[in-house]
Chains A and B, each alone.
Chain A
């Protein structure tokens, strides 16, 4: 079993839909990253959080340390949100990555 599990693996949506991607982890962590990877391979850090909730534009990330679970929400999804979303937990001094969720948003 992977230390970081994401669901779903693949997700398709119509433009405007509300999207939720989930991340569960089994190790003790100090913080958690949500990353976005576009087809070219470049990775953008969306959030780093260790408690509660963060919001940036249409993106919201929440984390529940006791339940070892985090969610990434996208409100009013848009085709440009199509990418792979990766959850990564900080285990002492390195990142452990989930396998990613491939999101496709259709117009």
Chain B
């Protein structure tokens, strides 16, 4: 069974540009979570989608946004990129709200570098 996949693996942008990161969950999973891991810092929760809706977001500015598609894949968009947005962005998936809390399975991450 395929795991969580993310694309691209690496992304280089300049300040002010927009970045789009993609995530495909494990088949059967309806929840997708996005996390940011900046260099030298711990993992921070960004966004949670389930059944196409945003269920919760972390303490990040509105220029971090995303969506979940009918096939449960998800996109994270970061607008007006700043240098401090350089980080590893991890996506995880789990069985969704219909089940009791479920284990999250992580993708390999997208490393975003902002120059």
Contact = CB atoms under 8 A, between A and B. Distances in A.
Interface of A: 30-31, 33, 35, 40-45, 48, 86, 88, 90, 93-100
Interface of B: 33, 35, 37, 42-45, 48, 55-56, 58, 88, 90, 92, 101, 103-106, 108-109, 111
SS class of chain A's interface: helix, strand, loop or mixed? strand
A90 B101 contact: yes
B104 A95 contact: yes
A68 B48 CA distance: 25
Contacts, number: 50
Contact of A45 (B37, B58, B106): B106
B78 to A, nearest CB: 18
A93 B55 contact: yes
B101 to A, nearest CB: 5
Ordered nearest first, which 9 A-B pairs have the shortest CB separation?
A43-B106, A97-B43, A48-B103, A94-B45, A99-B42, A42-B108, A41-B109, A41-B88, A93-B56
B105 A31 contact: no
A5 to B, nearest CB: 11
Contacts of A88: 43
B42 A95 contact: no
Nearest to A98: B42
A48 B56 CA distance: 21
Contacts of A86: 42-43
B7 to A, nearest CB: 14
B43 A45 contact: no
Contacts of A98: 42
Nearest to B89: A41
Nearest to A95: B45
A97 B90 CA distance: 13
A42 B106 contact: yes
